[in-house]
Structure 1
Amino acid sequence: MKTKPVLPTFAEIMSHDQSRVNSLQKRLRVNSDGNGLQGSNATHPANSGDSIGSPSYVVTLGFGTPKNDLTLVFDTGSDITLIHCYPQQDPIFNPSTSQTYKNLTCTSPQCSQLRRRGCATDTNICIYGVGYGDKSYTRGFFATETLTLIPSDVFPNFAFGCGLENVGLFRGAAGLLGLGCNALSLVGQTASKYGNYFSYCLPTFSSSSGTLAFGKEGGPKNSSSLKYTTLSTEPNRPSFYFIDVVAIKVAEQTLSISPSVFSSSGTIIDSGTTFTRLQPEAYAALRTSFQQHMTNYTMTQGAGPFDTCYDFSGHDTVVVPTITFVFAGYVEVPLDFFGILVTTSQTQGCLAFIGNMDASEDGIFGNLQQQTLDVVYDVAGGKLGFGARGCS
């Protein structure tokens, strides 16, 4: 009998999100040396993880021979794809039942590309390990398997982490689909087919009409409405996609924030972080302006990391000022209502942004602010496209 998934609480979502941000900030600061163990298209439905009790976005793909359909969290901030393998609890992938599973050796080219790796010297099997800021981790064999995106697009010898020890990870999902810019990510391993090009539209939590697509042909239908900004990567901080924020507007008015506030630390776009993190000075300016436009509502005590919250009791409708991010090339991206105000209780809502603790920490453009937008990653072309109302 299938049990109904237990939805994460607001506190659990915040704890998960903050732990992820702590891990990202640490990885962004560290210059890894790569040692030590510590024309085609394929389109898939991309849904909120609510159905499996996950606070992230998920997609279902085929894995192994015969094919198993696995639901994975997709993550633009991760290098490699990680699958819960036997003998873990459900949901799992059992490599012993697949005809095409193969462990990689310690001297294989794929193993040498891992940023954190080890070797089982008695068997010469490559070992991967990934740790996260909340002390959760995954460890296991680095292997290859057949990946099926759609029936016509099958990738043999796809390198992935077969997790034998997974602690505190990927609630409700069978693993994680790595979409970072690293050569071992799905984007890197399918580059010859899709040309380092993918896109998605993240639905709101009340909708299930999102998409994740690979290749230009599977991209947004209304491509003429896309506006492109610069997308960059950094060799010393692999996997992350960097974008240049130049301004923020509230109610069509540009906030008084020096461009150096954004450029001195940098900003990444991330599908796995829920709430956008801003440099302290940028967040202070946003908060002040937002409060000035919300005087018709009663401010109340903050909730968790949110310090700008309102009691909406007695209000049938709530009107908030527009918030627009301006990226390099003066690409303006207006945010959806649900990317501006987060509901923390039946009567309370808060400004859905969090200020970083230190000006040196990178900004993160999170998935809540990306909801309903077509987001196109033309990695080879060095540009990121935004389109309004992609899956609203």
Structure 2
Amino acid sequence: MVSSSALVSSALFCLVFLSYYSQNTRGEDFATVSVASLLPSSSCTPNAAQRGNSLQVINRNGPCSGKQLSKLTQVSSLAHDALRVASIQARVTGSWANYNSTLLGTQISIPARSGLYLGSGNYVITLSLGTPTKTQTVIFDTGSNINWVQCRPCAVACYSQAEPIFDPVQSSTYRNVTCTDPLCTGLSIRGCSTGTCLYSVTYGDGSSTVGFLATDTLTLTPTNVLNNFVFGCGQNNRGLFKGAAGLLGLGRSSYSLNSQLSGTLGKVFSYCLPSTDSLTGYLNLGSPLKPPTGFTAILTNSRAPSLYFIDLIGISVGATRLNLSPTVFRSVGTLIDSGTVITRLPPMAYAALRAEFQARMTQYARAPAVSILDTCYNFASGTTISYPIIKLHYTSLDVTLPGVGVFYPVGGSTFCLAFAGNTDPAQPGIIGNVQQKTFEVTYDIPGNRIGFATAGCG
């Protein structure tokens, strides 16, 4: 017969064991982060200097911009983000209505049925163009192909920008591309004026640029100079680019910067987006600064061959892998994009993620939905939060998101889950830049793969 004291001791042991097991299970499922680390400070804190062929990346809305670039609130950024996402999804599904774009005012009108490019993103870099060099701060965008800057004399319209507008007359290495040049005939949307090639790009948010296709010397770093860099010299530029001098495309076409550098740097590039707007990241051209911990294959969508699709097959919240078939993601496809802010998921996938996340966050007060974000919390009562770890599963690669990849600050002490559901199951998923923060994301085009390295930047 077992004594009562033995039963008590056994019960106490079980309680201690269960308590220990529960705490450690939670430790494996949850992470703790300070609320302050999710927010930018009022001053800029640059990361360590980059090496080799890398350029400093800053958020155009943060204190590191320092050049009076246009600034958006977090909520207005979401509205802008929705425009970009709509353009991506329409481009992939082929649902754009036909329309015309006008080149250089009323001079020439040509069809623009091949689809819209994606447009103004969040992050900018500074480079030098021409001889002698002139500094230009431009948006970089993996969803775009044509590089361009505003150019004098701004024959129709230019918006305000931080640096002086580029003047091709002052560059001894500037050349216009002729209408018969293969560089011109290779454009999907082009025109011709007195023998000079015209380009036109219309973006999904309604922004646009029109001008002369040209070449000049591009100085990325003191040791990396690209002669005969092909770019658009914009004479009619409108929209949401204000403050930036133009755009640098990192898509998969022959006109993008990475393609033009392929002869010297092997068509490999990587970037690290900082955790907050008060820190800096980098865009690296050539071999990555940190070797990726793993790779997943780049896939191609025939409707949008210049975009980077990857094979998302599942999501975990804590130790729970959501009960979703890979076909939920594969039937519509998933692309990764530097310019989209909030990750978009198929409706079924987002509903499962939201339900599991909310069930594990009941200790925190809910806050009202903000724009497209419907799972929001008020963290005013504490300095730290414990949240369920979110892991994205790709073919051959699992990526665990840091706290800044889970929450999006929308003002004050309110933070929202940085995911949203598509309105239509036929729309593709998009991995946004919030879920890319702090990783060095490597695009190995010859190897047809994308890799992630943790702690690429602060």
Provide TM-score, normalisation by structure 1. 0.89
| 2:206 is aligned with 1:139 | no
Structure 1 residue 206: Cα displacement: 4.4
Q: Distance in 1 between matches of 2:382 and 2:364?
A: 9
Asked whether the 8 Å contact 2:69–2:242 carries over to 1, the reply is: no
What letter matches 2:180 in structure 1?
T
Q: Taking every aligned residue pair, what percent have the same amino acid on both sides?
A: 45
What letter matches 2:177 in structure 1?
L
Structure 1 residue 6: Cα displacement: 5.5
Partner of 2:336: 269
Structure 1 residue 328: Cα displacement: 0.8
Partner of 1:73: 139
| 2:154 is aligned with 1:85 | no
Structure 1 residue 274: Cα displacement: 0.9
Partner of 2:256: 185
Structure 1 residue 133: Cα displacement: 2.4
Deviations 1:208-235 (A, max 9, x none): 341111112xx123x2x52111113345
Q: Distance in 2 between matches of 1:258 and 1:77?
A: 28
| 2:80 is aligned with 1:16 | yes
Partner of 1:194: 265
3-state SS of 1:165 partner: strand
Partner of 1:362: 428
Asked whether the 8 Å contact 2:74–2:409 carries over to 1, the reply is: no
Asked whether the 8 Å contact 1:250–1:323 carries over to 2, the reply is: yes
What letter matches 2:325 in structure 1?
S
Structure 1 residue 334: Cα displacement: 0.8
Q: Distance in 1 between matches of 2:89 and 2:167?
A: 34
Partner of 1:119: 192
Q: Distance in 1 between matches of 2:94 and 2:70?
A: 36
Q: Distance in 2 between matches of 1:27 and 1:55?
A: 17
3-state SS of 1:315 partner: coil
Asked whether the 8 Å contact 1:339–1:369 carries over to 2, the reply is: yes
| 2:158 is aligned with 1:106 | no
Trace 1:187-336 onto structure 2 (pairs within 5 A): 187-216=258-287, 219-221=288-290, 223=291, 226-329=293-396, 331-336=397-402
Structure 1 residue 5: Cα displacement: 5.0
Trace 1:2-81 onto structure 2 (pairs within 5 A): 4-5=68-69, 7-30=71-94, 36-38=110-112, 56-81=122-147
Q: Distance in 1 between matches of 2:314 and 2:220?
A: 38
Q: Select the residue among 428, 435, 451 that pairs with 1:385.
A: 451
**Cα distance change on mapping 1:31 and 1:13 into 2, 3 Å:** closer
Asked whether the 8 Å contact 2:121–2:140 carries over to 1, the reply is: no
Q: Distance in 1 between matches of 2:254 and 2:91?
A: 17
Partner of 1:163: 234
3-state SS of 1:344 partner: strand
What letter matches 2:438 in structure 1?
T
Q: Distance in 1 between matches of 2:256 and 2:93?
A: 21
Q: Distance in 1 between matches of 2:385 and 2:230?
A: 48
Structure 1 residue 81: Cα displacement: 0.7
Q: Distance in 2 between matches of 1:181 and 1:5?
A: 28
Structure 1 residue 286: Cα displacement: 0.7
**Cα distance change on mapping 1:114 and 1:235 into 2, 3 Å:** farther
RMSD of equivalent CA atoms: 2.1
Asked whether the 8 Å contact 1:136–1:167 carries over to 2, the reply is: yes
Q: Distance in 2 between matches of 1:247 and 1:227?
A: 17
Deviations 1:338-389 (A, max 9, x none): 1111111212111111111111111111111100001111011011111111
Q: Distance in 2 between matches of 1:8 and 1:209?
A: 18
Count of matched residue positions in the alignment of Structure 1 and Structure 2: 368
What letter matches 2:442 in structure 1?
V
Q: Distance in 2 between matches of 1:259 and 1:195?
A: 33
Structure 1 residue 37: Cα displacement: 4.6
**Cα distance change on mapping 1:14 and 1:116 into 2, 3 Å:** same
3-state SS of 1:320 partner: strand
Asked whether the 8 Å contact 1:113–1:184 carries over to 2, the reply is: no
3-state SS of 2:435 partner: helix
3-state SS of 1:319 partner: strand
What letter matches 2:275 in structure 1?
T
Structure 1 residue 112: Cα displacement: 1.8
Partner of 2:46: none
User: Structure 2: where are the runs of 5+ without partners?
Assistant: 1-65, 101-109, 113-119
Trace 1:327-346 onto structure 2 (pairs within 5 A): 327-329=394-396, 331-346=397-412
3-state SS of 2:92 partner: helix
Q: Distance in 1 between matches of 2:71 and 2:240?
A: 15
What letter matches 1:220 in structure 2?
L
**Cα distance change on mapping 1:290 and 1:57 into 2, 3 Å:** same
Partner of 1:45: none
Q: Distance in 2 between matches of 1:8 and 1:307?
A: 20
Deviates more, 1:137-146 or 1:198-207: 198-207
Asked whether the 8 Å contact 2:121–2:141 carries over to 1, the reply is: no
What letter matches 1:77 in structure 2?
G
Q: Distance in 2 between matches of 1:56 and 1:152?
A: 27
Structure 1 residue 252: Cα displacement: 2.5
Structure 1 residue 31: Cα displacement: 9.6
Provide TM-score, normalisation by structure 2. 0.76
Q: Distance in 2 between matches of 1:390 and 1:341?
A: 19
